[in-house]
Amino acid sequence: MFFYLLRRLLYAVPIALSVSLVCFLLVHIAPGDPVNAIVPADAPAAVVEQIRREYGLDKPLPVQFVLWLWHVLQGDLGRSLATGRSVSEDLYAAVGNTLMLALAAAGIGFLAGTAFGTLAAAFRGTWVDKLAVAFASAGVSVPHYWLGMVMVVVFSVMLNALPAMGAGPGGSASWAWDWQHIQFLVLPALTLSVIPMGIVTRAVRGTVVEILNQDFITTLRGKGLRRGGVVRHVVKNAAPSVLAIMGLQLGYLMGGSILVETVFSWPGTGFLLNSAIFQRDIPVLQGTILVLALFFVVLNLAVDLLQTALDPRIRRT
Amino acid sequence: MNSAVANNPTLLATPAAPARSKGYWAGVMKRLSRDPVTLVCGAILLLMLAAILLAPWIAPHDPYQTSMIRRLKPVWFQDGRYPLGTDELGRDMLTRLLYGGRLSWFLGITPVIIAFGIGGLLGIVAGFAGGWVNMLIMRTTDVFYAFPSVLLAVAISGALGPGISNAMLSLTLVFIPQIIRVSETTTTAVRNLDYVESARASGAGALTVVRVHVLPNVLGPIFVYATSLISVSMILASGLSFLGLGTRPPEAEWGLMLNTLRTAIYSQPLIAMLPGLCIFATSICFNLVSDGLRSAMDVRS
Amino acid sequence: MSASPAPLVHVRDLEVRFVSRDATVHAVNGVDFDLAQGESLCILGESGSGKSVTLRALMRLNPPRRTVLKGTLRVAGRDVIGASEAAMADLRGSSVAMIFQEPMTALDPVFTIGRQITETVIRHEGVGRAAAEARALELLELVQIPSAKRRLAAYPHELSGGLRQRAMIAIALSCRPKLLLADEPTTALDATVQIQILLLLRQLQQELGMGVIFVTHDLGVAGEIADRIAVMYAGRFIEEGPTEALMRGPLHPYAQGLLGATVHAGLRGQRLTTIPGAPPNLERLPQGCAFAPRCAFAAEECLAAVPSRRSPEPGRAARCVRVPDLALHAAA
């Protein structure tokens, strides 16, 4: 088991490096001289030269990558072309906001998805099952940026019940755990939760149906276990794969909130990305994507380890 | 295939290949014909396709004809001269939706088709060749798998800059690794089936084995998987346009229309919702058709 | 339980049908038998003959939504067909227990062997965890699993096939059942392990005085363990009798074919025979004897109606028109 853990941890290193490489290359696939992608157009020639030297932009790509990685490891993700502020500082606040939104959406989506999926599996073939599956299909097929607009129309415009954009009253940047602030989280979190809801519903339903069809369920009935006793077995069998899917979904939520954040002007990484795209602010784009992708790598690792801990069949190989 | 089997006594003795036989496809069609959801969704998709293909002939107005005096008019404006009202620049919504569908469908489906070709090829090669070829291909896809797909699409599109071809390129790159994984898994599974091994053992060449035994059995599952990606692709493609990374104004595209109509959600919410509704309808129909295909082709069910 | 003279298992006119939207499968079509305390019966038949379905019906373990049960079915003095689900759950695992063909899939892969035994003990005997664990250890020793204490903490995939089946038997025995049902318990095992498991089962049956019903398609297994054999075809017992007598001289042409088609010591020097044709479609059973289409001796009479049960000597019976009936002869 120790060696398995070690192997899995070591395997994450080349993945993280490759992910960094892809992010590094983003600057180079941008049209034009890379230096123009990371230095403001109106910068003095001396600054341009200094950056060019610092990042080794006249040297071969591998050298550039190492130099860039060196900066990144020190927490230096460059400066925004648009604002001149340090990218890592802007990201710090944005990642926190996105994480909050993603966790809220995950909470709603996972709970609802588990409930719907379990119901569907327990009553498979009935109208309950069909309804849950239809709901799940709608959840994974709905363009959530559109759903966000529908939510705004219904809850903000027609009912005037919830705020449509921002993350606090009067555009305040500081967050607090009171209704004044939380109400801003409701619509984006609900909107973002439909995808994990749909995916988790399908996954839970599929897993539970598969487990219920297995021979050992007959053994359990043959032992005279009551419903509750059988459920305990189903849960423990379903947990590893369902939790793995949930973990990945949390990662997708972090990386995929850009559209919802744009609709609701939620000050997270997606909003940052959107303005970076709009202003062709490549350092911000690169830094944000690097941080989100590395987060996803770490999350994948955590999911794998969790799965290993939960499933005896993997644990001891 | 029949002649190949006849020339190969080993195959006659082993259980026949599950796919490809007439009985199998007849069964698939029979199961599909009993599945009302798939049939209805398929019919809706065909109707939509016909409508958007015929847009130049059936659209009531010019998609680019703006008018300051009839901006954001409601549904059935002027007694049906503008059946779905007008957009924020006074263009006829029905016309824009018809033309927009062409671009949305094109943007959504093309990347999946290209990825199906490239990813399917690489996956089958990886699965069939095994060894270091498999290693090289699969480890490379792992890197792309380390990105959430929306993020990867936005990253590539964002770095390349806006434009239809850049958006399609980034979507293709997102889907290739996913298709590679599915085709590699399927190919490896098929390659290890008894009858394929016996064909190899009885001296059939690698190309023959691939053509006769592997391809017919793996293309179905890969195809079904690819159809399930169309739904995601439509949403992502329109999402990129929504972010300003795909089509540019004044072009009609559902995602872009949704974006430009955002300001209208207070005055004409119904009209502002229409492009999104189109994306939703297309996406869910593709999704359900793909589900129907999957269960119809799954012999176990 | 009570000391009533009633048999442990009492089955009359048992019918089992599986109903789905597309078809109705007549899996069991009128089975009668009794089993005394401590007796062992083997149901022999090819796959699809309804032998497993019959066995599962005794515990009402067939898929609940699709299964229709008819007839009289009493196990350990209790009615099975009309019982509530809760009453059935109380019966299962305590008075009646079952072991399955494939111990790999019949055991929950993510629970330890110990947990799978203790949960049954706790469920039926209402004892605490510690007592249940002590009982589990006893059981593993009873089924002769080496290093039993360590094996309690093992997961099914960590055991060999033979040990898994022993663990399965331990689970079945955990509440000292009066009746043990075994659904092809050795089919999935290696030949050498099969014999060990059979010997273990026979020993346990004698020690614990259980009634045992075995289902198998393997004549060797049947001869090894059973007091009586019943041969099943298309959902009916077409012949039954004491093991020795039935194996030496089967009465029904199908039983004759079955014994003739299998290698065993009694046939040394003879040619193996085969039974032409295939078993009938259980969705559309013929009106008469289900074996008639494949039978070399089939007559007009066979096609008209299902032959009645005829008994040429006490303890033996067959459903074939060619078998003389003792009762008829006595009357004549």
Name every chain C residue with its beta carbon within 8 A of the beta carbon of A214.
105
pLDDT at C263: 53
Q: What are the pLDDT digits (tens) for C189-223?
A: 888 888 888 888 888 888 888 999 989 888 877 78
Q: Poorest-confidence range of B89-98, C49-58, C264-273? A: C264-273
Q: Are C31 and C54 in contact (CB under 8 A)?
A: yes
Token pair for B73: 């008019």
Question: In whole angstroms, what is the distance from residue A17 CA to residue B9 CA?
Answer: 52
Q: Poorest-confidence range of A115-119, A121-125, A180-184, C105-109? A: A180-184
Q: What are the pLDDT digits (tens) for C132-144?
A: 999 999 999 888 8
Q: Which of C93, C107, C158 sits opposite A224 (nearest CB)?
A: C93
- Closest chain A CA to residue C91: A224
Name every chain A residue with its beta carbon within 8 A of the beta carbon of C123.
223-226, 229
- Closest chain C CA to residue A229: C119
pLDDT at C295: 84
C78 or B84: which carries more pLDDT confidence? Answer: C78
Question: In whole angstroms, what is the distance from residue A223 CA to residue C124 CA?
Answer: 9
Answer yes or no: do C123 and A224 touch at CB < 8 A: yes
- Closest chain C CA to residue A235: C110
Answer yes or no: do C155 and A222 touch at CB < 8 A: no
Q: For residue B60, how far is the Cα from the chain centroid?
A: 29
User: What is the residue whose two structure tokens read 């599945």?
Assistant: B35
Name every chain A residue with its beta carbon within 8 A of the beta carbon of B273.
146, 149-150, 153
**Given 3-state DSSP classes, what are the helix, strand and coil percentages for chain A, each rounded to the nearest 5?**
80, 0, 20
pLDDT at C3: 46
Token pair for C308: 């009645």
Percent of chain A with pLDDT over 70: 96
Nearest to B210 by CA among B201, B200, B202: B200
Q: What are the pLDDT digits (tens) for A265-279?
A: 888 898 888 888 888
Nearest to C231 by CA among C204, C213, C255: C255
Q: Which of C98, C108, C158 sits opposite A222 (nearest CB)?
A: C98
Across C40-51, average pLDDT: 88
Strand, coil or helix: what is C318?
A: strand
Give A 137-196 residues with CB within 8 A of chain B.
137-138, 140-143, 145-147, 149-150, 152-153, 157-158
Percent of chain C with pLDDT over 90: 27
Which ipTM value was assigned to this complex?
A: 0.85
Q: What are the pLDDT digits (tens) for A149-162?
A: 898 888 887 887 77
Low-confidence stretches of chain B (pLDDT < 50) are 1-19, 300-301
pLDDT at A201: 94
Across chain A, mean pLDDT equals: 85
Q: What are the pLDDT digits (tens) for A93-151?
A: 889 889 999 999 999 999 999 999 999 998 888 899 989 988 898 888 899 889 988 98
Nearest to B220 by CA among B299, B106, B132: B299
Annotate B181-221 with three-state secondary structure: HHHHHHHHHHHCCHHHHHHHHCCCCHHHHHHHHHHHHHHHH
Cα separation values, B215 from A204, A282, B173, B212, Å: 32, 43, 23, 7
pLDDT at C271: 65
Q: Which of B151, B161, B283 sits opposite A255 (nearest CB)?
A: B151
Answer yes or no: do A215 and C93 touch at CB < 8 A: no
Name every chain A residue with its beta carbon within 8 A of the beta carbon of C111.
233, 236
Listed as own residue / partner, the contacts of A229-234 with beta carbons closer than 8 Å and 24 or more positions apart are A229/C119, A229/C123, A233/C108, A233/C110, A233/C111, A234/A208
Phi/psi of residue A250, each to 5°? -60, -40
State the CB neighbour count (10 A cutoff) for residue C297: 12
pLDDT at C5: 63
User: Does C contact B via 3+ CB–CB distances below 8 Å?
Assistant: no
Question: In whole angstroms, what is the distance from residue B112 CA to residue A228 CA?
Answer: 45
Name every chain A residue with its beta carbon within 8 A of the beta carbon of C107.
216, 219
Q: What chains are in contact with A, requiring at least 3 Cβ pairs below 8 Å?
A: B, C
User: What is the residue whose two structure tokens read 């939510």?
Assistant: A151
Contacts of A222 (CB under 8 A, 6+ apart): C59, C61, C92, C93, C97, C98
- C107 near A CB under 8 A: yes
Q: Which of C89, C107, C155 sits opposite A226 (nearest CB)?
A: C89
State the CB neighbour count (10 A cutoff) for residue B263: 11
Hey, what amino acid is at B227? T
Answer yes or no: do B283 and A27 touch at CB < 8 A: no
B269 CA to chain A: closest CA distance, Å? 7
Listed as own residue / partner, the contacts of C61-65 with beta carbons closer than 8 Å and 24 or more positions apart are C61/A218, C61/A221, C61/A222, C61/C92, C61/C98, C62/C16, C62/C18, C63/C18
pLDDT at B115: 94
Give A 207-226 residues with CB within 8 A of chain C.
214-216, 218-226
pLDDT at B14: 31
Q: How sure is the predictor about C16, in pLDDT bands with cuts at 50, 70 and 90?
A: very high
Across chain C, mean pLDDT equals: 85
Give A 192-251 residues with CB within 8 A of chain B.
251
**Would you say residue C237 has pLDDT above 50?**
yes
Nearest to C140 by CA among C168, C103, C119: C168
Q: Which of A15, A157, A259 sits opposite B142 (nearest CB)?
A: A15
Q: Which of A124-133, A191-200, B89-98, C269-278 ranks highest by mean pLDDT? A: A191-200
Answer yes or no: do A312 and C94 touch at CB < 8 A: no
pLDDT at A119: 92
Across C141-161, average pLDDT: 89
CB pairs below 8 Å between A and B: how many?
A: 141
Q: How sure is the predictor about A1, in pLDDT bands with cuts at 50, 70 and 90?
A: low
Name every chain A residue with its beta carbon within 8 A of the beta carbon of C59.
222
Nearest to B30 by CA among B296, B257, B250, B292: B296
Q: Which residues pair with C181 in a beta bridge?
A: C98, C213
